[in-house]
Amino acid sequence: MSMNQNTALAIRLNETDNVVVAASRISPGGRVEDATVRDEIPTGHKISTRNIAEGEAVRKYGQIIGFAGTEIAAGSHVHTHNLEYRPTSHDYDFSSDLKPVAAMPEIERATFEGFRRKDGKVGTRNFIAVLTSVNCSATAAKQIAASFTPEVLASYPNVDGVVAFVHGTGCGMADNGDGYANLQRVLWGYARNPNVGAVLMVGLGCEVNQIDFLLEAYGIERSPLFQTMNIQTTGGLRKTIDAGVDIVRSMLPLVDDARRQTCPASDLVLALQCGGSDGWSGITANPALGYAADLLVRHGGTAVLAETPEIYGAEHLLTRRARDEKTGRKLVDRILWWESYTERNFGSMDNNPSPGNKRGGLTTILEKSLGAVAKAGTSPLNGVYQYGEPIDTNGFVFMDSPGYDPCSVTGQVASGCNIVCFTTGRGSAFGCKPAPSIKVSTNNALYERMPEDMDINAGDIASGVASLESVGAEIFRMLLVVASGQQTKSEAQGLGENEFVPWQVGATM
């Protein structure tokens, strides 16, 4: 992406664009390039720089973001009243834009202080997880975890907490198919995430999603740090809570034995996320995060993009970066699945952007996707994974998921992400235990309005005070210090337990 700030009023992102972005609110009569502004233009919204004929493509980032629904005069506000979404066809041109990664010399590779697990993976946190196989055991899990107050945990300084991960499914579902597979991958993935030092899994006993089936499917064996129980066999809710508290209490000293040690940045698996996006997301925070992702890849780490509906219309930019045609076609197959999925559920791939996105200046899913893909940097696409599927390759990869942030990040953590970076333009109160979540503001106004929620401000990029590279480097440095134990602002406010949302697919029966 190129960004030329030709005037104080507006920003041109590509020489071929026929719209620019308002750098601040612009009143009618102002001049933007060669056009006189006709309308009141909110910050982050689009202005036409020349006359655009009805039906003509509207371009931003050098790409088509929609088509003029009516004739648009130069200097006009371009938004939902005159810009229409239409499906576009793309030449996927597999692997035509591969940029080799200049690996960082070994002596210069960054490190952090993490928890090295027996399987070789590294945690950035050290939690005890109380997982539920079914909604029916949610209350038991919550009450078990609630017993371990800060006062109790003060005796175990190397334990970050006891967290209940509860959900609204696990029964009334088919015991096969996408929905069942998603849930099992998520539960298994959280149990094996390196940020989790021990697991207690609690079920009811008669649910479709049987704990024993999960253990058999994934070859999990019970141990002092992985235990299971169910309410019906234990003798009811109260007895289950009491027994669960005893089990977790026995785990605490074992988990507390873990110590941080110096680990290479190649052990970081970063979830790339954006939510509450606005017109600045694809201009400031997202490309800055993309720069940080490229840095992480150069240091041997892994960056994971997700939210398939939010790359829709921009997926051709990723297939051109696929390491081979097979990898690129796996991504296209997921796009085709989503088109079929939304159609049979009487939806549309342009149901996105949300009302908040539109108030922030985003008009169509094509525009939102082009900005969202900027989080992916420029590295080759090394793999495409199903929701919650274990990620087994380094570098930049993609994981299929919905665009709903908690659901998407749940899948990324299940796939092995041990840290999250989340950009937002409208403001989003988000965390994701057991993985710490760094929040990046796309604009100065948000950073000033929600200072207790934002870790980094990328808004200065738009004003020219900072560069994409300097903010990207700042994000990378914060990844290392947060991975080493420094709390994010989301963690400090206790966010992260209610964001456990496995993706439900299929009928509830």
Question: For 183-236, how does the pLDDT look when each residue is reduced to its tens digit (9 = 90+)?
Answer: 999 999 999 999 999 999 999 999 999 999 999 988 888 999 999 999 999 999
Do 413 and 302 lie in a common domain? yes
Do 404 and 435 lie in a common domain? yes
Q: Say how many CA atoms lie within 13 Å of 138 toward its Cβ.
A: 13
* Within-domain flag for 115: no
C-beta of residue 199 within 8 angstroms of C-beta of residue 122: no
Do 409 and 292 lie in a common domain? yes
The pTM of this model reads 0.95
Q: What is the CATH number of the domain that holds 15?
A: 2.30.130.110
Name the region of 56 (left: φ>0; alpha: ψ -120 to 50; beta: rest).
beta
Q: What is the CATH number of the domain that holds 184?
A: 3.40.1400
* Within-domain flag for 504: no
* Within-domain flag for 167: yes
Q: Outline where 222-324 has alpha helix (H).
A: 231-234, 237-256, 285-298, 315-319
Do 54 and 148 lie in a common domain? no
Phi, psi dihedrals of residue 35, rounded to the nearest 5°: -110, 145
Q: What is the pLDDT of residues 491-504, one digit of tens each?
A: 999 999 999 999 99
Print the domain residue range for 172: 127-257
* Within-domain flag for 203: yes
**Average of pLDDT values for 49-65?**
95
Q: How confident is the model at residue 429 (pLDDT cuts 50, 70, 90)?
A: very high
Looking at the structure of the chain, the number of domains it has is: 3
Domain boundary among 50, 84, 118: 84
**Average of pLDDT values for 363-391?**
96
Cβ neighbours of residue 164 closer than 8 Å, sequence gap 6 or more: 130, 132, 138, 141, 142, 144, 145, 146, 497
C-beta of residue 12 within 8 angstroms of C-beta of residue 18: no
Looking at residue 8, its pLDDT comes to: 57
Name the region of 183 (left: φ>0; alpha: ψ -120 to 50; beta: rest).
alpha
Do 280 and 427 lie in a common domain? yes
Cα angle 491, 494, 499 (rounded to 5 degrees) comes to 90
Helix, coil or strand: residue 302: strand
